[in-house]
Amino acid sequence: MKNWKRLLAGALAALCMTPLGGCGVLFSDDPEALMRPPRPTGDKTGIHEVLEKAAGEGFTLKYPASGDVRSAIVMQDITGDGVEEAIAFYQKADASSTGVNIMFIQKRDGVWTSMGSFAAAASQVDKVLFGDVNEDGVPETVVGWGSGQSGVSNVSVYSLSEDGTKLEETVLDQSYAQLLVLDLDGDGFEEIFTATVTVGDQPAQARLLRLRSGAIEILSSCPIDSAVTSIVGAAGGLIGENRMGVLLDGSKAANSYITEVVYWDRGKRALVSPFFDPATQTVEITTRSLNVVSRDVNGDKILELPMVNLLPGVTASSPPDTAYLTDWHQYDAEANTLSRVMSMVTNSVDGYWFLIPDMWKNQITTEQDLSSRTLTFRRWITYGENLSEGRAGDRLLEIRVFTAKQWTEEEPNGEYFKILDSNNLVYAGRIPSPDNSLAMSENDVRNSFKLLTQE
Ligand SMILES: [Ca+2]
Ligand SMILES: [Ca+2]
Ligand SMILES: [Ca+2]
């Protein structure tokens, strides 16, 4: 059994050696499709009966607190035969046992049967992930116990026994702030990625781990920003056309955020964090004052990181997010630089963002009127070289939110044009100075507008 798996694993590795994108053989790109809760049929009853036998009548199901998988009973093929097993998280009915348990349940000859259960000391499940971290052709179950954000956490890896009948647990006795499972080195097999903040004399670091001969092996590690107190986001995926990486968004002191790039350097065969400055033990280049997290903002499957700058002419001591321009960047590993992909102004109060056209670069400022729910973009006229010295000029664009009722009653003569409507609200635009050289067309305005809920 093991031999054909190795062969299969080897073949897959060979297949996946060059084109990174071609590794979807083992796992679907859509985690929801693979890791869904059980069908509400006889399966559910059968699984429930096995759990009740082990955990007592009145046991409670426990739900993962973060990540893509949020079911207490997760269906996933962990034996590689094309049939899904069930993985259940629960707390025993017995009040004296406070920890969470995990049980692997397989359908054998039509009967749901336990393949093993394990007790964790933690009282909650943080995250459940799957990936072939021991390179045997079938996915392991990687569980983050506790809470990544509180730092009271540890990782367990559950792998299939040699004979394929039961599960074995390997515990990584190390807390994490962020936990991911992804193929960072591009060999076709996933690794475990962890990121930690500084705790006592333990420096903040990112680590890449895999399972080898039943033990967790550290493939590589690298230092990350030591001043980050909380890693608020970790986006793993493509960071370039042919490169996987992780963008870590960290919170430092009040109103200070950074993003660091971590990826596998093929030449060095090591995990690297190119923005980390060894002299200061920190990352400076991506410093910003708004909490915006990295994501694929333009839908090209490559992750972007945000750089945020206050627009000129803003004097408020704690300006709203509409007073900032967010420039989204991709990291270019070859040139070790950031390149801007797009710029936007976000209005979190009214729930949308607006793409800023290139012709507006260094040419605009904004004013937000909360009572009329209006965001106005104005031309910024500088007095000299210094962008901050100048004044607001023509109104180039107003974006205003109406209730559906207001829209019918107050806007019958069409001073505003409709951008879109959603949830009984009408998002509308007006171009007060159509002759200004920076004026946009109504269509361009519509194409540049996006609701935050649409993402
Ligand atoms: Ca495996
Ligand atoms: Ca790999
Ligand atoms: Ca993108």
pLDDT at 406 over 60: yes
Q: What is the pLDDT of residue 35?
A: 53
Which of the ligands is closest to the CA of residue 294? Answer: 3
Distance 135 CA to ligand 2 centre (A): 9
CA 400/CA 208 separation, integer angstroms: 48
Distance 175 CA to ligand 1 centre (A): 23
**Can you say how many angstroms the Cα of residue 336 is from the centroid of all Cα atoms in its chain?**
23
pLDDT > 90: what percent of the chain? Answer: 81
Which of the ligands is closest to the CA of residue 299? Answer: 3
Task: Return the residue matching tokens 């923005």.
Answer: 275
Which of the ligands is closest to the CA of residue 9? Answer: 1
C-alpha closest to that of 185 among 145, 151, 219, 226: 219
Which of the ligands is closest to the CA of residue 134? Answer: 1
pTM over 0.75: yes
Write out 136-203 in H/E/C secondary structure: CCCCEEEEEEEECCCCEEEEEEEEECCCCCCEEEEEECCCCCEEEEECCCCCCCCEEEEECCCECCEC
Residue range 142-169, pLDDT digits in tens? 999 999 888 789 999 999 999 999 999 9
Distance 89 CA to ligand 1 centre (A): 21
Q: What is the pLDDT of residue 29?
A: 43
Q: What is the pLDDT of residue 150?
A: 81
Place 9 in a pLDDT band, splitting at 50, 70 and 90: very low
Which of the ligands is closest to the CA of residue 192? Answer: 2
Distance 161 CA to ligand 3 centre (A): 40
- Which two tokens mark 310? 């206050």
Residue range 168-203, pLDDT digits in tens? 999 998 899 999 999 999 999 999 999 999 998 889
Which of the ligands is closest to the CA of residue 78? Answer: 1
Which of the ligands is closest to the CA of residue 211? Answer: 1
Amino acid identity of 43? D
Distance 281 CA to ligand 2 centre (A): 28
Which of the ligands is closest to the CA of residue 17? Answer: 2
C-alpha closest to that of 326 among 299, 314, 308: 308
Which of the ligands is closest to the CA of residue 188? Answer: 2
Beta bridge partners of 342: 328
Distance 145 CA to ligand 3 centre (A): 31
Rounded mean pLDDT, 27-44:
56
For ion ligand 2, residues whose CB falls within 5 Å: 183, 185, 187, 189
Look up residue 359 and give its DSSP letter. Answer: G
Higher pLDDT, residue 201 or 118: 118
pLDDT at 315 over 90: no
Distance 36 CA to ligand 1 centre (A): 20
Distance 184 CA to ligand 2 centre (A): 6
Average pLDDT score over the chain? 90
Distance 376 CA to ligand 3 centre (A): 27
Rounded mean pLDDT, 358-387:
96
